[in-house]
Amino acid sequence: MTKPPLLSTQNMRIPLSQSDFASLGLNPALVDNLASLGYAAMTPIQAQALPPILVKKDVIAKAKTGSGKTATFALGLLHNLDVKRFRVQTLVPVSYTHLTLPTIYSV
């Protein structure tokens, strides 16, 4: 199995036309919820990582704290969740560090 490429946002800029969550074809309920929470535009890591995540590709991402990584992976998880299939559909591995509880409570 080949390792997916590392996505990094260092010095990355995205055009405004590509920073809208709706442009990704996300579930409309997710887009509405994002708007109600005040999220209008994607961060660079979201713009780079969400497209492959939404088509179920493996992604390894590196970005600063607070850049939207957790939301990125959660949006991909929720978008691909089939609510009619009542069974385990996703596993979220988290290291047992200071990030464990914030990750659990933010998803």
pLDDT per residue as tens digits for the range 43-102: 999 998 999 999 888 888 888 888 998 899 899 999 999 989 999 988 777 666 655 566
What pLDDT, on a 0 to 100 scale, did the predictor assign at position 36? 95
The verdict on residue 16 lying in a domain is: yes
Count up the domains in the chain and report the number.
1
pLDDT per residue as tens digits for the range 2-42: 766 656 555 444 444 467 898 888 889 999 999 999 988 89
The pTM of the whole model exceeds 0.75: no
User: Domain containing 77 — which CATH number?
Assistant: 3.40.50.300
The verdict on residue 95 lying in a domain is: yes
Structural domain containing residue 18: 6-106
The verdict on residue 1 lying in a domain is: no
In our burial notation (b when 16+ CB lie closer than 10 A, e otherwise), range 49-80 reads: bbbbbbeeeebebebeeebbbbbbbbbbebbe
The verdict on residue 93 lying in a domain is: yes
